[in-house]
Chain A
Amino acid sequence: MINDYVFGVAATEVQEVLGHQRLTRVPLAPNHIVGLINLRGQVVVALDLRGRLGLPGRESNPTMVNMVLRTDNGPIAVMVDQVGDVMNISDDEIGPVPVTFGPPMDKLLDGVCQLDHGLLLMLNVPEITRPALP
Chain B
Amino acid sequence: MNEADQLLDDFLVESFESLDQIDLEMMDLEVESDSPDLLDSIFRGIHTIKGTASFFDLFQLSNLAHSAENLLSLMRSGHIKADSQIIDALLASLDAMRLMLDTVSQTGTDTSFDQTGLINRLARLAHSASDSADRHDGIEPYDELSANHHPVAEPPLDSHESVESSLFLFEDDDVDDPASAAGMDDAHSGDDGRLDDGAEPKKAGRKSGQDVSDGRVRVDVGLLDRLMNLVGELVLARNQLLQGQKDSDQHISQIASQQLNLITAELQEGVMKTRMQPISRVWAKVPRSVRDLAIACDKKVRVEIAGGNTELDRTILEAIKDPLTHLVRNAIDHGIERPEQRVEQGKPETGLLEVRAFDDGGHVIIEISDDGAGLDLRQIREAAVACGVGVPEAIATMADEEVANLIFAPGLSTANTVSNVSGRGVGMDVVRANIESVGGGINITTTRGVGTTFTIRIPLTLAIIPTLIVRCGDEPYLISQVSLVEVLHVGRGTDSEIESAGGIPLLRLRDTLLPVVQLREVLGLEPAELNTGANVDIAVLQIDRVTFGLVVDQIVDTEEIVVKPLSPHLNNLGVFSGTTILGDGRVALILDAAGVARGSGLFRHKQREQRVPTARPTRRGGDAETVLGCMVGSTLIGVPLVLISRIERLPATVIEHTMGEHVALYRDGVMRLCYLSDMVGSSGRPEPEVDLTVLVYEQDGEVYGLVVDEVVDSLEIDPANGLSVGDQTLRVAATIGRRESDRIKIDELVASTRSVVSR
Residues of B within 8 A of A76 (CB): 567, 569
Question: Which of chain B's residues has its CB closest to A37's CB?
Answer: B587
Residues of A within 8 A of B473 (CB): 27
The CA of A47 and the CA of B523, in the complex, are separated in Å by 20
Question: Which of chain A's residues has its CB closest to B472's CB?
Answer: A27
Residues of A within 8 A of B580 (CB): 43
Residues of A within 8 A of B669 (CB): none
Tell me the count of chain B residues lying within 8 A, CB to CB, of chain A: 25
Query: CB of A45 within 8 A of chain B?
Result: yes
Question: Which of chain A's residues has its CB closest to B473's CB?
Answer: A27
Query: CB of B571 within 8 A of chain A?
Result: yes
Contact with B along A93-134 (1 / 0, CB 8 A): 000000000000000000000000000000000000001101
CB distance from B464 to the nearest CB of A (A): 14
Query: CB of A60 within 8 A of chain B?
Result: no
Q: Which interface residue of B524, B525, B570 has the most chain A CB atoms within 10 A?
A: B570
Q: Which interface residue of B567, B585, B586 has the most chain A CB atoms within 10 A?
A: B567
Question: Which of chain B's residues has its CB closest to A41's CB?
Answer: B581
The CA of A41 and the CA of B587, in the complex, are separated in Å by 9
Describe B's contact surface by its main secondary structure.
mixed
Contact B579 A36 (CB under 8 A): yes
Query: CB of A86 within 8 A of chain B?
Result: no
The CA of A41 and the CA of B579, in the complex, are separated in Å by 11
Contact A26 B571 (CB under 8 A): no
CB distance from B465 to the nearest CB of A (A): 16
Contact B571 A38 (CB under 8 A): no
Contact with A along B571-611 (1 / 0, CB 8 A): 11111100111000111110000000000000000000000
Residues of A within 8 A of B589 (CB): 24, 26, 36
Query: CB of A20 within 8 A of chain B?
Result: no
Residues of B within 8 A of A45 (CB): 567, 569-570
Contact B587 A134 (CB under 8 A): no
Contact B569 A43 (CB under 8 A): no
Contact A38 B581 (CB under 8 A): yes
Question: Which of chain B's residues has its CB closest to A47's CB?
Answer: B569
Query: CB of B701 within 8 A of chain A?
Result: no
> Given A29-B573, A43-B581, does the pair A24, B568 have CB atoms closer than 8 Å?
no
Query: CB of A58 within 8 A of chain B?
Result: no
Query: CB of B475 within 8 A of chain A?
Result: yes
Contact with B along A4-44 (1 / 0, CB 8 A): 00000000000000000010111111000101111001111
Query: CB of A73 within 8 A of chain B?
Result: yes
The CA of A38 and the CA of B574, in the complex, are separated in Å by 22
CB distance from A66 to the nearest CB of B (A): 13
CB distance from B551 to the nearest CB of A (A): 15
> Given A43-B564, A43-B579, does the pair A29, B586 have CB atoms closer than 8 Å?
no
CB distance from A27 to the nearest CB of B (A): 4
> Given A27-B525, A38-B586, A38-B587, does the pair A33, B570 have CB atoms closer than 8 Å?
yes
The CA of A43 and the CA of B562, in the complex, are separated in Å by 12
Contact A131 B569 (CB under 8 A): yes
> Given A27-B524, A28-B523, A45-B567, does the pair A22, B585 have CB atoms closer than 8 Å?
yes
CB distance from A70 to the nearest CB of B (A): 14
The CA of A33 and the CA of B587, in the complex, are separated in Å by 15
The CA of A82 and the CA of B386, in the complex, are separated in Å by 67
Contact B586 A24 (CB under 8 A): yes
> Given A33-B569, A131-B571, A132-B569, does the pair A43, B525 have CB atoms closer than 8 Å?
no
Contact A28 B573 (CB under 8 A): yes
Question: Which of chain B's residues has its CB closest to A129's CB?
Answer: B569
Instruction: Kindly identify which residue among B572, B579, B581 contacts A134, using a CB–CB cutoff of 8 Å.
Output: B572
Within 8 A of A (CB), among B462-502: 473-475
Q: Which interface residue of A22, A24, A25, A42 has the most chain B CB atoms within 10 A?
A: A24
Residues of A within 8 A of B575 (CB): 28
Residues of A within 8 A of B572 (CB): 134
Contact A43 B567 (CB under 8 A): yes
> Given A36-B587, A43-B564, does the pair A29, B581 have CB atoms closer than 8 Å?
no
Within 8 A of A (CB), among B683-735: none
Residues of B within 8 A of A22 (CB): 585-586
> Given A22-B585, A24-B588, A43-B579, does the pair A134, B567 have CB atoms closer than 8 Å?
no
> Given A24-B586, A27-B523, A36-B587, does the pair A73, B579 have CB atoms closer than 8 Å?
no
A-B contact pairs, 21 of them (CB 8 A): A24-B475, A24-B587, A24-B588, A27-B523, A28-B523, A28-B574, A29-B570, A29-B573, A38-B581, A38-B586, A38-B587, A42-B564, A43-B564, A43-B579, A43-B580, A43-B587, A45-B567, A76-B567, A131-B568, A131-B571, A132-B569
Question: Besides the contacts A35-B587, A38-B587, what 12 more A-B pairs have beta carbons closer than 8 Å?
Answer: A26-B576, A27-B523, A28-B574, A29-B573, A41-B581, A42-B564, A43-B564, A44-B567, A73-B567, A131-B567, A131-B569, A132-B569
Sort A-B residue pairs by CB-CB distance and give the 10 closest, nearest first. Answer: A27-B523, A134-B572, A24-B587, A36-B587, A131-B568, A45-B567, A43-B579, A131-B569, A43-B564, A45-B569
